[in-house]
Amino acid sequence: MKFHKEGYTSLAIVVLFIFAINAIADYYDASLYAKWFLYVLSAFLFITIVQFFRSPIKRIAADEGIILCPADGKVVVIEETEETEYFNDRRIQISIFMSPINVHVNRNPISGIVSYFKYHPGKFLVAWHPKSSTENERTTVVVKNSADVEVLFRQIAGAMARRIVWYVNEKDVVKQGEEFGFIKFGSRVDVFVPVGTSINVNIGDKVVGGKTVLATF
């Protein structure tokens, strides 16, 4: 387990805040109860940040016959739908909701070449809102594998998630299981796979990024 690079700024801010409020309490000679409250609050804030930005070390053996889960969380959508941004045809959508307690690293579901990438500024509706996938801030990534099969995956911001980070661009060669991005403070990742793909998960399943097999070709 390591601390993710996206958390350094947040950790520094929290440490400075903890130092400031405890220094103020000491300067004004706050009561013992007040000081203990601040100690507990300080510990809670520190542990929360460290927990949120944890980044498990994973050794993943790439397999072209499977689609790995891109994020930790819970499966909230499995349905056939019209994908209108890139494919303009019917696809199976699998959506994973990431709560604030999940690991927030996002991983490539397949290996291949990034054939499409686009960042969309937008709203911050709650992640389960029906229009969040088309109106919220989001990124769309499409990767084509060696068999010319394309999988689209989308980071979607939510009411709390105010920053989406990505590490890929068009024509990049990416490896299954490697990080392609990070979403701060919860939200959702959608994956669109070809109709006819065998789905290995069910709605309500708890899934692990880079470990759970979402589907097989």
pLDDT tens, residue by residue, 139-185 = 999 999 999 999 999 999 876 555 788 999 999 999 999 999 998 76
Q: Give residue limits of the domains in the chain.
A: 2-55, 66-216
Measured CA to CA, the distance from residue 101 to residue 69 in angstroms comes to 17
Could you list the active site residues?
187
* CATH for the stretch 66-216: 2.70.70.10
pLDDT in the model for residue 127? 58
Which backbone phi and psi does 112 adopt, to 5 degrees?
155, -155
The per-residue DSSP string of 64-106 comes to TTEEE--SSEEEEEEEEEEETTTT-EEEEEEEEEE-TTS--EE
Confidence of residue 97 (pLDDT cuts 50, 70, 90): very high
Q: Tell me which H or E stretch contains 156.
A: strand 150-156
Using alpha carbons, select from 117, 105, 114, 162 the residue that is nearest to residue 137. Answer: 162
Q: Which two tokens stand for residue 41?
A: 């609050």
The model scores a pTM over 0.75: yes
